[in-house]
Amino acid sequence: MYQYPLPEGLTPTDKNKLSNYWPIRNKGNDFDWETITGVVLSLALRKQVKTYELTDYQEDCKQRFFAKLDEPEFWTVLERSYFSSQALYNISPLFLLFKARGRQSGRLDASAPDLRLCKLFAGLMGNFFLQDALDDHLNFVEQEMLSVLRKNLQPGTAIENDEHPYLPFLNKVFREDIEFLAKHPQYLLQALPKTLRLYAFSYCAQLALNITDWQEPKSRPLYFILETEKASSERTSVKRSGYKLLAAACERVFPLLSALDALQLPEKPARPLWQIYQEALEYYDQPKLLNELNTYLQAFIEKRELVPRAEAHDVSEAFEQLKELAIEQFRDARTTRGGVNKKYVKELEQQLLSDFIQARGAAGRTLVLNQDQVLLLTNLTIGKADKLRLHELRKGFEQRGFYLDNQTLQALVDFYERMGNVERMSDSGDAVYVRKTL
């Protein structure tokens, strides 16, 4: 590899800064999920309303219906039904694009936290988009309304992706899920916001679990129980690879991602840590790279007043040092750094993880899926297929970052049986098929 993998003249920054791959800051993390849903839809469709306002649209509709109705007075009925309430957004997902309006400048008109979360989803989407327009099945009045909207849609999106994917495995399933939802617009309307919450969780959790590894990330075990189940400390997977594992992993995210920020090349798409590591190992002039890294690390130690250590002997060792130092600086009780990191973790838990965490008596805090989340996950995983074997369903859950132990799986089957969406082929446990319930 000839491209030098690090910025020229790498020097430690004064402050730990975080601008890529993470939607959470140490404060100011209120998300407006409607906006975010609108933006994701705009990303998927590569369509936007730009500066077209809802009031402009209402006026255009009025003109259209005045021309079509033999009793123009009926327009007031339509106005009352579709515009005086939020009912417009229930007609077709396309109307959600109004939630993702742009500014005159072309930039997205959204708050900073929303922009960050949108960036996360833009990253998950990558260069993927839906080839076919949403096939809405509407009555003739709604069709007229939709066609007024369609005429005013413009190509493009108000937000660009400038990151190489951190979790390629999650990108893959996310695209599949969006593609599946797009085939069922009415289901998409109710399921997309919940799907995005699911993925926001899964992205943060899996990134945290993968961040100390140098290989391309893969789905890491993280065990959930169903809301209706009892948590018991005897369940080893749930105990070992559950909430505690996640909480510990989250503490390493800000240190490592902010260390990563310093390594990004200016004006180039951001790269994940594991990718920079791999590019560095493949770089043809290892001595030069090692030398620069060592210089950087020594300067870093000095600047952050960390315990001195010997220079690394090769590039891979240098990266190990980078990792250790990045984490070590936050253990320093003399500075406020530790407190900042704690805020990052706390904000993450409150804003994006809390839907999935419950305090369960003696078992303590536990990762939990409620019925809605389970059903959504089931439908997404079955996706294009009519039905899946239980075994495959479980694998699909795991690809999305949700692991269930055998006991939970049994509770899941019982739940499906009450719902009536299982088919048994025989009395044997694994010959169970699960159907979608849209």
Note the residues at the interface with other proteins (CB under 8 A): 65, 68-71, 73-74, 76-77, 80-82, 84-85, 87, 90-91, 137-141, 389, 391-392, 417-421, 424-431, 437-438
Our CB check for other proteins shows the closer of 105 and 139 to be 139
Query: Across the strands, what pairs with 365?
Result: 359
Our CB check for other proteins shows the closer of 269 and 429 to be 429
Is residue 2 helix, strand or coil? coil
Our CB check for other proteins shows the closer of 348 and 393 to be 393
CB of 384 to other proteins, least distance (A): 15
Q: Which two tokens stand for residue 48?
A: 């936007």
The closest alpha carbon to 190, from 96, 100, 79, belongs to 96
* Cα 73 to Cα 57: distance, rounded to the nearest angstrom: 18
CB of 149 to other proteins, least distance (A): 16
32-33-38 Cα angle (round to 5): 110
Most distant pair of Cα atoms in the chain: their distance:
86
CB of 421 to other proteins, least distance (A): 6
Residue 11 burial (10 A CB sphere; 0-12, 13-18, 19+): exposed
CB of 111 to other proteins, least distance (A): 29
CB of 21 to other proteins, least distance (A): 36
CB of 135 to other proteins, least distance (A): 11
Rg (CA), the chain: 25
Contact status, residue 337 vs residue 16, Cβ threshold 8 Å: yes
CB of 77 to other proteins, least distance (A): 6
CB of 376 to other proteins, least distance (A): 15
* Cα 142 to Cα 144: distance, rounded to the nearest angstrom: 5
Our CB check for other proteins shows the closer of 86 and 291 to be 86
* Cα 138 to Cα 88: distance, rounded to the nearest angstrom: 13
Our CB check for other proteins shows the closer of 69 and 327 to be 69
Q: Which two tokens stand for residue 274?
A: 């594991």
* Cα 409 to Cα 406: distance, rounded to the nearest angstrom: 5
* Cα 403 to Cα 396: distance, rounded to the nearest angstrom: 10
Our CB check for other proteins shows the closer of 69 and 265 to be 69
* Cα 229 to Cα 371: distance, rounded to the nearest angstrom: 11
CB of 222 to other proteins, least distance (A): 25
Q: What is the dihedral of CA 140, 143, 148, 154, to 10 degrees?
A: -170
Our CB check for other proteins shows the closer of 267 and 386 to be 386
339-341-345 Cα angle (round to 5): 115
Our CB check for other proteins shows the closer of 82 and 356 to be 82
* Cα 96 to Cα 101: distance, rounded to the nearest angstrom: 10
Our CB check for other proteins shows the closer of 84 and 131 to be 84
Residue 427 burial (10 A CB sphere; 0-12, 13-18, 19+): exposed
CB of 426 to other proteins, least distance (A): 4
Our CB check for other proteins shows the closer of 361 and 429 to be 429
The alpha carbon dihedral of 195, 197, 199, 201 has a sign of: negative
Our CB check for other proteins shows the closer of 281 and 413 to be 413
Question: Which helix (H) or strand (E) is 348 found in, with range?
Answer: helix 337-348
Residue 307 burial (10 A CB sphere; 0-12, 13-18, 19+): exposed
Our CB check for other proteins shows the closer of 138 and 247 to be 138
CB of 85 to other proteins, least distance (A): 4
CB of 64 to other proteins, least distance (A): 11
The alpha carbon dihedral of 20, 24, 26, 29 has a sign of: positive
Is residue 176 helix, strand or coil? helix
